[in-house]
Every structure is written in structure tokens, then in C-alpha cells.
Amino acid sequence: MSAISLIIALIAVLGAGLLLFPTVVSWFSQYEQSQRIDGLTDDVADLSASTLQRKLDQARDYNARIAGGGANILANERLPLADQPEQDGDYESILSVDEAGLMGRLKIPSIQLDLPISHGTSSTVLEHGVGHLEGTAVPVGGAHTHSVLTAHRGLATSELFTHLDRVQLDDTFVVEVLGEVLTYRVIDSRVVEPSETESLFPVEGKDLITLVTCTPLGVNSHRILVTGERVIPTPSGDLDAAGQRPEIPTFPWWALIAAGVLLTAIVYVWLSGRPPRTTVSSRGSAAED
């Protein structure tokens, strides 16, 4: 094989790797998220009814203490910021059932999303799921509450809120927290400037959750805000589906098969382009002639 052919083959391998890498890595991310939700479901199931009620009461007391808080979104930043940061010293313990810091589960059926919700919006949290914006109400429902949940968009390693822009008005999303099942119907979806934060503040008598992510992909100059209002009573279908094990995604074997076929083809081409080996006996016969 000539040097040019070898370079072309290497470029082909590199290109295939770049194409297949996001698919494989995204699968591992989805699998890890499913395992975390699975663990949370087991932990909640192990708690007594009195413990669950105590934790829910603690969360509602927290919301009462921070009533009126909202969020600010800075330009060219991926994440919103609470306007009352570090409001309460026991924030990390609110809704927590283990050391992992998970507080619940977010399901968006219209885009087939099922993600764990964690405390805060640190880079570590947002690499693995949805973060709750500290300083806004924790997602346990209630009049005059407005929770803000945020996640990354457009990561090569995980889907997260990449398709949040596909969520339509009247779609629903579900938050499961400590055995409670809260369904929200989308009443507003908008793209805003970072300075436009009015819609993130509580509304008198309303039970709201807003999902936030950045846009356009890779630029992050604006924000997508998808706001849902609580549906009461919770639809029976959502109650029936609550606590079910998350669907473990099927491993993308096709990606490995495609990589193997490509590698085999390259090796075959390389071997077929090599000159035939001359044996000792053939060299001896040639010398006698």
C-alpha cells in the first residue's frame, strides 16, 4: 500500500471513530442515568411512610422560607443563577435519601426523556442529569411555587435537554419525588434573552416548573424556557407508571459491527496491496536458471 493510500485509510478510520464515538458514549451515559434512577427508586421504596411525609414537610417548609425567589440568567453562560444563592444551609438535605444527592426523577414522554434530578447546578451534576436551581422552590408542588430545572444541551456524551425545543404546548412532563407524582402541562415555551427573567418568578396561586437550557447549540446566547403548570388530579396513567424501572437502552451493537467491518476492509486492502513474499526456494530456482 502506498503512503497516500495508508493516509486515506487512517483518515477513514478516524472519521468513522468520530461518527461512532458519540453514539457509544451516549449509550453509557443513558445506562448510568438509568442505574441512578433505579437506585433512587429502591431507596425511596425502603423508606417508611412517616419518613417520606417528614421529608416532604421539610421540603414544603423550605419552599415557604424562600417564597418569592426567582432566577437570573447571565449572558454567554450555560446556566441560570438563583437570585438568592445559598439561601438555606440545609438545602442539600432537602428531599435527599442517600449520599448521591438525588432529589427526584423527571420524565418528558414527548421526547422520551427520563433523567435523575440532583441538587444544584454544578458542572458535575449537569454532566449526569438535571440540576435543580438552588434558590427556587424544590419540586414538591404547591400554590405560589416555581421550580427551575436545568440541563445541558448538545453534549456529545449525553442527550439531556438537547431536544427540549421539540416539546410542544399541551405536552406534559412528570416529576416523581419521594413517592409523589406531579404532572405538569406545558403552557409556555419561549426563547429569551439572558436578561429576560420575569417568567422564572413565582405566580400567585400557580404551581409551576420551568425547564431551562441554552440555545443555539454551541453559542449559548439565548435560553429556552419550557414552563408547565400542575395538572390536578394527577392523570391515572402517570400514577400507574410511577416508580417503574427505567428502560435500559439497547447497546448500539451496530456501531461496533460497523467499526469492525471498516477495520476488516482496511486491513484487507492493505494486505492485498503488498507485494508477494519471495521464498528461499524460489530465489534458489531463479539463481540456477
Mean pLDDT of 179-199: 94
pLDDT band, very low/low/confident/very high, at 141 (cuts 50, 70, 90): very high
- Decide if pLDDT at 287 tops 60: no
- Using alpha carbons only, give the angle 56, 82, 54 rounded to the nearest 5 degrees: 10
d(CA 106, CA 118): 10
155-184 confidence digits (pLDDT tens):
877 889 999 999 999 999 999 999 999 999
Active-site option among 132, 152, 163, 222: 152
Active-site option among 119, 146, 214, 222: 214
Q: What is the pLDDT of residue 72?
A: 47
* Residues 3-6: contacts with CB under 8 Å, at least 24 apart: 5/269, 5/270, 5/273, 6/270
- Decide if pLDDT at 64 tops 60: yes
67-113 confidence digits (pLDDT tens):
865 554 443 344 444 444 444 458 999 999 877 779 999 999 999 99
25-62 confidence digits (pLDDT tens):
666 667 777 888 888 888 898 999 999 999 999 999 99
User: Among 162, 156, 158, 166, which residue's Cα sits nearest to residue 214?
Assistant: 162
d(CA 242, CA 50): 20
What percent helix, strand, coil does the chain show, rounded to 5?
A: 40, 25, 35
Q: What is the pLDDT of residue 227?
A: 98
201-228 confidence digits (pLDDT tens):
999 999 999 999 999 988 889 999 999 9
- Decide if pLDDT at 277 tops 50: yes
Mean pLDDT of 242-270: 68
Assess whether 163 carries a catalytic annotation: no
d(CA 253, CA 284): 51
Assess whether 214 carries a catalytic annotation: yes
Q: What is the pLDDT of residue 30?
A: 74
**Please, what are the domains in the chain?**
10-241 (2.40.260.10)
